Amino acid sequence: METSQRDEQQRAAEQRRRELLEAADRVVLREGPGASMNAIAAEAGITKPILYRHFGDKGGLYRALAARHTDALLAGLRAALDSPVARRERVEATLDNYLTAIEARPQVYRFLMHPADEGQPSEQGFDVGRHSAPLMRRMGEELAVVITERVDLGPDGEDLARAWGHGIVGMMHAAGDWWLRERPFSREQLVRHLTDLLWGRLAVSGDRLDGPGF
């Protein structure tokens, strides 16, 4: 097969995969954690075996959706961290970016983090913990890289940045999960409370001389 034909087939396959993920997003927005492979296949106008051919099983579809939404979330977090404002304002913007994302699409968030919530049974063989843990680890590692690049933490900086990265992601997830369920106060108040919690050693650490301050 000629290279140009293979490239065309690959582009067509990638386009079809994007269309299927968009169909899955629409079903998740309507049905939340209970979104099924049957409903997603129907939304895409295909049979369930064809959907399996693209993703393997619900775990494969979950991973593809998680990557899609995590990529978008990380892009937003990086943009907030690089905004040309004071460090505390950047911290607030980063926390607000995450909370705004889960508030805007709570059904997607619940599908990714709590697919068996609200009495909805998980599909056979689907274990949310096995699939959501890598998502959280990826976010923690990505944030650690950002911290390492932007904050001078001394000789043990890399280890400290990784601890902070995973700790901050864990804090955002736990606090955001609780807040999304109970809504005890506004998102803006939660951002201030979490920023106050973080505003300890981070406030007095020096900036890297060869790059933008965090």
Q: Which DSSP string do the residues of 101-148 spell out, in sequence order?
A: HHHH-HHHHHHHH-TT-TTPPPPTT--HHHHHHHHHHHHHHHHHHHHH
Instruction: Quote the DSSP letter at residue 34.
Output: G
The helix (run of H) or strand (run of E) holding residue 10 is: helix 3-31
- Tell me the β-bridge partners of 151: 207
What is the end-to-end Cα distance of the chain in Å, rounded? Answer: 50
Cut 0.85: pTM above it: no
The pLDDT, as a whole number, for residue 41 is 92
How many other CB atoms are found less than 10 A from the CB of residue 96? 20
Distance, in Å, from the CA atom of 163 to the CA atom of 144, rounded to the nearest integer, reads: 8
The pLDDT, as a whole number, for residue 125 is 45
pLDDT digits (tens, 9 = 90+) for 90-106: 899 999 999 999 999 88
The pLDDT, as a whole number, for residue 124 is 44
- Tell me the β-bridge partners of 206: 152
Return the CATH number of 59-207, one of 3.40.720.10, 1.10.1240.10, 1.10.357.10, 3.40.50.1950: 1.10.357.10
Collect the ranges in the chain with pLDDT lower than 50: 117-122, 124-126
- Residue given tokens 């065309």 in the structure block: 8
The domain spans of the chain are 59-207
